């Protein structure tokens, strides 16, 4: 097995929304905001090459939205899915499976693209597209607070393509082979999935939006986007203790600088120990 970091670019989100109840005077030191109070975040996906399968975890925002949409989220930077895959010798046609941690637009927007006639089609023509039935129902029948994150043009064409499959909603369920299992979290959105990978004799967890960045390690640092923040608080607390005790490697999807880290206990609680890239693992 080989893991690759696949960078789909950078985007911006409101700093207050990203840090919830934490005051700007504190969080602004961690990820400084621009003049519009927007902070830069990464769209960092992962390619898992098992030999038999090439599994892409999340797909970033994509580029099919209109100018008004991108004026809110400021997609920028030199990276995109095509160039990042090409850096490692792959194309979208090589991908056998696209696994979505959840269906918010910044995690699944690159899965569906527009064809020459403007129709919506899978960007990965040879890939099976993965979610779970509980989250799919949540995403396709969204509540009024979260529906702006679930875009129909990202989600419905997946089902229409005939390429969708669902996995079980159960911690520890195996995905593809014995080295890849799933953890579930329910505070950010219902039934978000965190791939947990046994790699080079280490356990690596793809953090998605349970821990968007290293700046979110302190327990109260919970996004305003989370549907059930107290549930997130408990999930974070439980996970961080487990990760510390087992020396997990954490892989961050949204941290603008840090790709991976391990943890240590400090007088302020569980914090970053070492930081490194997948290539350095």
Structure tokens at 145: 């607070």
pLDDT tens, per residue, the chain with 281 residues: 999 999 999 999 999 999 999 999 999 999 999 999 999 999 999 999 999 999 999 999 999 988 899 999 999 999 999 999 999 999 999 999 999 999 999 999 999 999 988 899 999 999 999 999 999 999 999 999 999 999 999 999 999 999 999 999 999 999 999 999 999 999 999 999 999 999 999 999 999 999 999 999 999 999 999 999 999 999 999 999 999 999 999 999 999 999 999 999 999 999 999 999 999 99
Structure tokens at 198: 């046994």
Q: What is the distance between the alpha carbons of residues 104 and 100, in angstroms, rounded to a whole number?
A: 9
- Boundaries of every domain in the chain: 2-200
The torsion of the CA quartet 60, 247, 51, 8, rounded to 10 degrees, works out to 10
Class of domain 2-200: alpha beta
Q: What is the distance between the alpha carbons of residues 217 and 236, in angstroms, rounded to a whole number?
A: 8
Structure tokens at 168: 């079980």
Q: What is the distance between the alpha carbons of residues 164 and 7, in angstroms, rounded to a whole number?
A: 24
């Amino acid at each position: 097995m080989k893991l690759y970091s696949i960078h789909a670019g950078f985007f911006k989100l409101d700093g207050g929304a990203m840090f919830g109840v934490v005051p700007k005077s504190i969080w602004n030191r961690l990820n400084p905001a621009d003049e519009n109070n927007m902070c830069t975040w990464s769209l960092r996906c992962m390619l898992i090459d098992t030999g038999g399968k090439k599994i892409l975890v999340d797909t970033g925002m994509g580029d099919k939205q209109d100018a008004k949409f991108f004026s809110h989220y400021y997609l920028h930077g030199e990276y995109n899915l095509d160039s990042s895959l090409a850096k490692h010798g792959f194309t979208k046609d090589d991908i056998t499976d696209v696994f979505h941690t959840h269906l918010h637009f910044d995690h699944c927007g690159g899965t569906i693209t527009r064809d020459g006639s403007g129709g919506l089609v899978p960007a990965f023509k040879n890939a099976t597209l993965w979610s779970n039935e509980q989250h799919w129902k949540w995403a396709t029948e969204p509540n009024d607070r979260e529906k702006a994150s679930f875009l129909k043009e990202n989600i419905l064409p997946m089902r229409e393509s005939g390429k969708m499959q669902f996995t079980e909603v159960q911690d520890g369920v195996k995905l593809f082979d014995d080295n890849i299992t799933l953890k579930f979290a329910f505070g950010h959105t219902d039934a978000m999935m965190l791939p947990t990978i046994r790699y080079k004799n280490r356990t690596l967890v793809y953090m998605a939006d349970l821990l968007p960045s290293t700046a979110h390690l302190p327990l109260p640092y919970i996004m305003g986007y989370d549907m059930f923040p107290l549930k997130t608080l408990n999930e974070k607390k439980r996970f961080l203790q487990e990760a510390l005790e087992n020396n997990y490697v954490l892989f961050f999807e949204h941290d603008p600088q840090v790709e991976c880290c391990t943890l240590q206990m400090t007088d302020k609680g569980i914090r970053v120990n070492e930081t490194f890239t997948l290539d350095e693992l």
